[in-house]
Amino acid sequence: MIQGQMQGVISVALLSRPGLMDSMKALLARELPGVTVSSWPEAAARDAELAVCWKPEPGALAAMPKLKLIHAIAAGVDNILSDPTVPDVPLCRIVDPGITAAMTEFVLWGALYFHRDFDRVISNAREGRWQRYDQRAAKDVRVGILGLGELGTDAARRLAELGFTVSAWSRSPKQFAGVRTFSGAAALDAFLSETDILVSLLPLTPSTLGLLNTARLSRLPKGAALILCSRGEHVVMDDLVALLRSGHLRGAVLDVFEREPLPAEHPLWREPGVLVTPHMAAIASWEAITLQVAENARRLLSGQPLLNVVDRARGY
């Protein structure tokens, strides 16, 4: 659909911490002529039909009586659905080739970080220690991806192209050339037991909250590593730290945390074997986000099917 076909105008409310989405105002005005944009908790925001959100304050969306569409500015919508008062209107998320490419880069880097021993040599370099490790072929390293959706699918394909032995776990059964697939809760232990580098690309839902606890992480072979790109709440962090300290797990790259930013005094920053990154695996540009929000606003106004609608029953 192209700009100009829009019938009517729409009022948009931005719901986030103050200032986060300010750059969207001019972009939305460019894309949706006549749009009014306000920021929660301004009075005008309560009358908006479209709510654009990162982490709205609980109850805010329920206090918008004219609301017709909720649009996340992210791929994950857990920050929105965690509020039980969220009204039953369509909820859309961001699906963007730029995010997918960025996430795949991060996952490839993380897999190579462990596979090529960068975790060890970076630590050795700080002590001036010259130490080489036996090299293994990528095919001898099993990378397992939790979640085979928009992001997991591309990461799996590119890891397989690099030569890794790749498997993936999803809720529903899938066929994927060159990737061994597992599905459903009953298959999770088998999947984990054959994974040397575990990558999490799951959405956060009641079924995935706390999934990676002592019991599950212990299923990974000794010396396995974790790359957590999904949400901090997928991992019971104390269980992870205990398995790192016991030597069962080799290391973890953690990009996401229950509380963000991770406070400077948090012990994870200094935990041996852990590399903290600042929720940077894949960041959508405001331009890309605005184009998708505007497209869905036009579709809403003209009665066309919306793009990237979240299944509220599944939670993703």
Asked if 289 is part of the footprint of ligand NDP (rule: CB under 6 A), the reply reads no
Q: Please state, in angstroms and rounded to a whole number, the distance separating the CA atoms of residues 34 and 269.
A: 47
Q: Kindly indicate which of the ranges 114-122, 212-220, 229-237, 243-251 contains the residues binding ligand NDP, using the contact rule CB under 6 A.
A: 229-237
Which residue out of 46, 248, 279, 312 is catalytically annotated? 279
Asked if 150 is part of the footprint of ligand NDP (rule: CB under 6 A), the reply reads yes
Applying CB under 6 A, among 51, 73, 253, 281 the residue interacting with ligand NDP is 281
Which residue out of 71, 115, 120, 231 is catalytically annotated? 231
Are 9 and 35 spatial neighbours (Cβ–Cβ below 8 Å)?
Answer: yes
**Does residue 312 have an active-site annotation?**
no
Asked if 75 is part of the footprint of ligand NDP (rule: CB under 6 A), the reply reads yes
Are 205 and 316 spatial neighbours (Cβ–Cβ below 8 Å)?
Answer: yes
Applying CB under 6 A, among 196, 233, 255, 295 the residue interacting with ligand NDP is 255
Give whichever of 144 and 147 is closer to ligand OXD, judged by the CB atom.
Answer: 147
Applying CB under 6 A, among 24, 35, 48, 151 the residue interacting with ligand NDP is 151
Instruction: Output the 3-class SS for 110-158.
Output: HHHHHHCCHHHHHHHHHCCCCCCCCCCCHHHCEEEEECCCHHHHHHHHH
Residue found by looking up tokens 């400077």 in the block: 264
Smallest separation (angstroms) from ligand NDP to the CB of 135 = 29
Q: Closest CB to ligand NDP belongs to which residue?
A: 149
**Does residue 298 have an active-site annotation?**
no
Asked if 51 is part of the footprint of ligand NDP (rule: CB under 6 A), the reply reads no
Gyration radius of the chain's alpha carbons: 21
What are the tokens at 60? 């805010």
C-alpha dihedral (158, 161, 163, 166), degrees to nearest 10 = 50
Residues that bind ligand OXD (CB under 6 A): 74-76
Span 23-42, contacts to ligand NDP by CB under 6 A: none
Query: For residue 219, what is the DSSP state?
Result: H
Q: Kindly indicate which of the ranges 197-205, 264-272, 286-294, 300-308 contains the residues binding ligand NDP, using the contact rule CB under 6 A.
A: 197-205
The string of DSSP codes covering 259-313 is: SSSPPTT-GGGG-TTEEE--S-S----HHHHHHHHHHHHHHHHHTPPPSSB--TT
Exposed/middle/buried for residue 28 (C-beta within 10 Å: 0-12, 13-18, 19+): buried
Span 203-222, contacts to ligand NDP by CB under 6 A: 203-205, 207-208
Give whichever of 107 and 243 is closer to ligand OXD, judged by the CB atom.
Answer: 107
- Mind telling me the catalytic residues? 231, 279
Q: Which residues bind ligand NDP (CB under 6 A)?
A: 75-76, 99, 103, 147-152, 169-172, 201-205, 207-208, 229-231, 255-256, 279, 281-282, 316
